[in-house]
Amino acid sequence: MERKWWKEGVVYQIYPRSFYDSNGDGIGDLQGIIRKLDYLKKLGVNIIWLSPVYSSPNDDNGYDISNYRQIMAEFGTMQDMERLIAEMHKRGMKIIMDLVVNHTSDEHPWFIESRSSRDNPYRDYYIWRKGKDDQPPNNWGSRFGGSAWEYDQTTGEYYLHLFSRKQPDLNWENPRVREEVYDMMRWWLDKGIDGFRMDVINMISKVKGLPDGRIKKGEKYSKDDSYYINGPRVHEYLQEMNKRVLSHYDIMTVGETPGVTPEIARKYVDFDRNELNMLFHFELMEIDRQSTKWKPRKWRLTELKEIFTKWYEGLKEKGWNSLYMSNHDQPRMVSRFGDDRKYRVESAKMLATLLHTLPGTPYIYQGEEIGMTNVAFETIADYRDIETLNWYREKKKEGVPEEKIMAAIHRTSRDNARTPVQWDDSPNAGFTGGVPWIKVNPNYKEINVSRALKDPDSIFYYYRKLIKLRKENPVIVYGDYKLILAEDENIYAYLRRLENDSLLVILNFFTRPARFHLPEDIEYGDKELLISNYPVEKNEGIREIPLRPYEARIYRLKK
């Protein structure tokens, strides 16, 4: 296996708006990030992924970009950005930026030109079509609700937007669009950034003819995304991008790709194909939902184990996995997969153990390292996320009762992850001296960084220890993975092995106590406990272990 810094590192995702506000306007900013770099250094992460910081009217918090070569005024200046890059590099950290090129903002100059007339040179930068008898060109639904087409008065045609109407899709079929994107990428790489997280990168190629999608009873717009996910030319585009841009730099790339299986993923990340280094797949993110994210579903531990095991097997020796359990689009990890009440600390540590010891590169989302939880604002007025607000409006119109809507929002809204980082127990959790753009989680007096740093048993120090273990033990990065007790519905256990080194990871996934039995065929002479989230007796055997709620242990097995 070839050694690479992005295989060995740990990534920390910053959602700048909610990270730290340095000037009291209620919005996190670049200077705020600079002030907290020593905190991140202390945690031990060495790669930072910044969610978008480019100029944007913020219809979707920066995922709608109006100028790729400018910093959003609320976040600071290009000078601040250059300073941030330098400060990170000074500390031995790498910096990855979000690349959002499936769409731009409708306020991007390209789109302003494009919509101005049918023969404008920029017309073909976007996807324009005539309507069908006063209806949109096809039945595709936007991922944020309603039609994926917006009628534009000026020229009497519709443009495609898979996300909000302020996020028109770029036309990747147009070679000039691709050149513009590659130029812009080089411009940033030449500034010294170390890679890209590529937003919905598997949506950039749409099926020719843009045919109608399947429609379910009662639906007006199709949720069938098969006509634009993993589309016909996506690999051609990525190989071109790689050849023209990526391959000229020592960088890392991770593509955000809903709707991929390991077989499909191989096409994007196979070492020999020269496209991307890693992907974010959505299989774990979909384990607890039905056809839409708003409808919950009960899941079993064996399903979760199957997902990770299948992805390991699928990419083994051919590609590289990424590991995440939350981000700015998802509920908080501890609320979703652990217990955010009685066993918050134990379960956050257990999940962290999994995240840092599976094969692949771990991604920590801001606040996760102190066990931040979901939030439940009483009124919709306190929510900010466009997806949440659109869905609320839609359901209200359908007559769904308020309590039902709010319950789903509390469980699954993207704003769960977007409340400000809780730094201390002062007003607004020390995030801002002003009025925060979104309210802080009321539990900040109990859950905050300052408190975590004073408690040697905190989730923070447990993360730090895991990161250190990963750094010191190549077996965690490069070792193979073998699931044991595959059928067990309470315990997730596996071995990681590299040459003569062998680690055993044991995780009790639930509140109920469980009994671990080491399979007979696993032999060992001696053992060493590397980390655990409960006190463990020094001489305790491991052939049979009664596990406490959410107990996690890593042992080194010696011959």
Q: Which two tokens stand for residue 159?
A: 């443009």
Residue from 10, 13, 21, 114 that binds Ca ion (CB under 5 A)?
21
Rounded to a whole number of angstroms, the minimum distance from the CB of residue 280 to ligand TEU is: 9
Marked catalytic residue, from 59, 106, 256, 340: 256
From 13-21, 160-168, 388-396, 423-431, span contacting Ca ion (CB under 5 A): 13-21
Which CB, 192 or 433, lies closer to Ca ion? Answer: 433
Query: Tell me, what DSSP letter sits at residue 296?
Result: B
User: Measuring CA to CA, which residue among 148, 262, 276 is closest to residue 201?
Assistant: 276
Q: Binding to ligand TEU by residue 258, rule CB under 6 A?
A: yes
Marked catalytic residue, from 64, 199, 346, 387: 199
Strand order in the sheet with 149-152: 128-129, 157-160, 149-152
Stretch 360-399: interaction string toward ligand TEU, x if CB under 6 A = ---------------------------x------------
Rounded to a whole number of angstroms, the minimum distance from the CB of residue 30 to Ca ion is: 9
- Residues 120-149 within binding reach of ligand TEU (CB under 6 A): 143
387 binds, among Ca ion, ligand TEU, none (CB under 5 to 8 A by kind): ligand TEU
Q: How far apart are CA 286 and CA 295, in angstroms?
A: 11
Q: Which residues of 459-473 are buried (b: 16+ CB within 10 A; e: fewer)?
A: bbbbbbbbbebbeeb
Residues 6+ apart with CB under 8 A from 241: 178, 181, 182, 185
Phi-psi domain of 259 (left: phi exceeds 0; alpha: psi -120 through 50; beta: other): left
User: Measuring CA to CA, which residue among 369, 383, 448, 368 is closest to residue 415?
Assistant: 383
Cβ atoms 357, 554 nearer than 8 A: yes
Cβ atoms 400, 374 nearer than 8 A: no
Which CB, 390 or 532, lies closer to ligand TEU? Answer: 390
Give the pairing of strands 94-99 and 195-198.
Answer: parallel
3-state SS assignment for residue 496: strand
Q: Binding to ligand TEU by residue 100, rule CB under 6 A?
A: yes
Residue from 59, 157, 199, 224 that binds ligand TEU (CB under 6 A)?
199
Rounded to a whole number of angstroms, the minimum distance from the CB of residue 72 to ligand TEU is: 15
Rounded to a whole number of angstroms, the minimum distance from the CB of residue 86 to ligand TEU is: 27
Q: Binding to ligand TEU by residue 281, rule CB under 6 A?
A: no
Catalytic status, residue 8? no
Rounded to a whole number of angstroms, the minimum distance from the CB of residue 21 to Ca ion is: 4
Q: How far apart are CA 288 and CA 291, in angstroms?
A: 10
Q: Binding to ligand TEU by residue 163, rule CB under 6 A?
A: yes
Q: How far apart are CA 27 and CA 21, in angstroms?
A: 5
Residue from 115, 123, 414, 470 that binds ligand TEU (CB under 6 A)?
414
Q: Binding to Ca ion by residue 239, rule CB under 5 A?
A: no
143 binds, among ligand TEU, Ca ion, none (CB under 5 to 8 A by kind): ligand TEU
Rounded to a whole number of angstroms, the minimum distance from the CB of residue 430 to ligand TEU is: 26
Cβ atoms 202, 229 nearer than 8 A: yes
Residue from 21, 60, 157, 340 that binds ligand TEU (CB under 6 A)?
60
**What is the SS3 assignment for 55-82?**
ECCCCCCCCCCCEEEEECHHHCCHHHHH
Please give the single-letter amino acid code of residue 223: K
Look-up of token digits 């604002």: 377
Rounded to a whole number of angstroms, the minimum distance from the CB of residue 315 to Ca ion is: 40
Rounded to a whole number of angstroms, the minimum distance from the CB of residue 31 to Ca ion is: 8
Q: Binding to ligand TEU by residue 7, rule CB under 6 A?
A: no
Which CB, 27 or 238, lies closer to Ca ion? Answer: 27
From 26-34, 133-141, 210-218, 252-260, span contacting Ca ion (CB under 5 A): 26-34
User: Can you state the angle between helices 234-244 and 175-190, rounded to 10 degrees?
Assistant: 40
Catalytic status, residue 199? yes
Q: How far apart are CA 450 and CA 114, in angstroms?
A: 50
Which CB, 324 or 494, lies closer to ligand TEU? Answer: 324
Q: How far apart are CA 497 and CA 503, in angstroms?
A: 6
Active-site residue numbers? Answer: 199, 256
Binding residues vs Ca ion (CB under 5 A)? 21, 23, 25, 27, 29
Contact residues for ligand TEU (CB under 6 A)? 60, 63, 100, 143, 163, 199-200, 256, 258, 293, 328-329, 387, 414
